[in-house]
Amino acid sequence: MFDLLPDVLMIFFEIFCCKIFYEIFGVIRYKGWINVVQLILLTGCALVSAKGLSDFFILKQILIIVVVAGFMFWHIKISMKKSLILAALYQGLLLAVDYIAFLIYSGSVLNSKAEGTQYTLESVLVVLLGKVILYLSIIIIKKRFEKKSSEMLVDIEWLKFLFFPIFTIVIISAMLSVFGYVEGSKQANLLFIIAFGMAAMNIVVFYLINDIIGREIKLHENEIFKIQVKNQVEMYQTISESFDNQKKKTHEYKNQIICIESLLGKGKYLELEEYVKGIYGHLNKELDAINTNNVIVNAILNTKYQEADEKGIVFVFRVNDLSELRMKDEDIVTILSNLLNNAIEACEECSDKKVIKLKFVNEDNMIIISVKNTFAHSICYADGEIKSSKLVKTEEHGVGIKNIVRVIEKYNGSYIINDSNEEFYFSIIIPA
């Protein structure tokens, strides 16, 4: 059992760790049985390289780096140059943790033995200890660099996730500390099966949790999509209602002109004056307050302006000609609807000062959108990012902000978020 099988299993474990490492920095090209073929072929090539060039350390490392880079380029959507760099980094990490495992064993109480027959289990457990440390290191790297999984698992959940590899390291270390008491091959075989089984369980647990995270991400994306659709439907309904109202107004204007002509013909000038004043006051309320020469922007801003006015919120705005705006309608809706909805909600909670300041201009080849509003409750931050200032619907916290950021990144723009003196500020700059 301790001839070739441990080497195959160790290399297979290394390949799985390598696969996890690469998937942090790229997207899988193919799924299904091709993955299995890739793993088997890479394991075979790595085993041949390790055995055939065991006396040529540097040459062996170079060949393994090239082989791993080639197979991972096949597996992950990255450039060959990046694949070579990652392969070199991974191989360096592998050598470092193997050396650490050797130091832990040779320089501690783990190396104290009692009299008894010694088997090659000792060296196998030391190598396996290094592989589990490698796996733990990659999980920590994944937490640091992979954005999606970091968003879905909070720090406390990550500590729970790391418990299993740490526990495995402790168990293998304990096995090494009592290795001298192993007196038969059956005991050695049993210890190896237990140790490697625990190491393999780490991979199983990883993919189990990874699948759960994947499902959570899909649910989160579906929630974002629903909110986007809701905002777009509301805006398009507003535009449709605006056109319908315009048709009704055209019919009303005809009747009003007939009435004015009738009063003029009868010489009833006082009644005519009162009637015209009434029409003028009514028109002032109905006419759009904001005109940017962009139908979508007009519909959103005027709707939100009326909503803010009805809720006693002062709406100050600065706009210019946006007829040449090249952003897609749905992206304009996403940014403006989320920013102004959040601003109105925040102002509603204020007891005295309720002010929204909007700037939306296209100048100097730049689209500038900024919203500043008063707020009453503290802003919630996590991992350096704003989540929400809302006190209800905690499951939706930060979804609107993430939608806005996604659109900004789509157009290679930049943004600033700040809060001071009881005012929240969100400023966006996008190349026109």
pLDDT tens, residue by residue, 355-388: 999 999 998 889 999 999 998 876 665 544 555 4
Mean pLDDT of 379-407: 59
Instruction: Dig out the tokens for 345 from the structure.
Output: 């909600």
CA 71 – CA 28 distance, rounded (Å): 12
> Is 270 a domain residue?
no
User: What total number of domains does the chain contain?
Assistant: 2
Question: Which of the pair, 395 or 149, is modelled with greater confidence?
Answer: 149
> Is 61 a domain residue?
yes
> Is 250 a domain residue?
no
> Is 245 a domain residue?
no
Does 30 lie in the same domain as 177? yes
CA nearest neighbour of 148 among 75, 86, 210: 210
Mean pLDDT of 157-185: 73
Residue 118 has what pLDDT? 45
The domain of 416 spans 291-432
41-45, 286-290, 313-317: which range is least confident on average?
Answer: 286-290
Beta partners for 385? 382
CA 426 – CA 75 distance, rounded (Å): 40
Does 329 lie in the same domain as 208? no
CB atoms within 10 A of CB 14: 24
Q: What is the DSSP letter of 289?
A: S
Residue 393 has what pLDDT? 45
pLDDT over threshold 60, residue 7: yes
Q: Which of 201, 226, 251 is the last residue of a domain?
A: 226
Residue 1 has what pLDDT? 41
Question: Which of the pair, 416 or 155, is modelled with greater confidence?
Answer: 416
Does 302 lie in the same domain as 219? no
pLDDT over threshold 70, residue 151: no
> Is 310 a domain residue?
yes
Q: What is the pTM of this model?
A: 0.53
> Is 246 a domain residue?
no
Question: Which of the pair, 189 or 404, is modelled with greater confidence?
Answer: 404
> Is 242 a domain residue?
no
Does 219 lie in the same domain as 335? no
> Is 262 a domain residue?
no
Q: Which of 226, 260, 276 is the last residue of a domain?
A: 226
Cβ atoms of residues 69 and 87 within 8 Å: yes
Q: Which of 226, 249, 280 is the last residue of a domain?
A: 226
In this structure, what CATH number is given to the domain that contains residue 350?
Answer: 3.30.565.10
Does 35 lie in the same domain as 171? yes
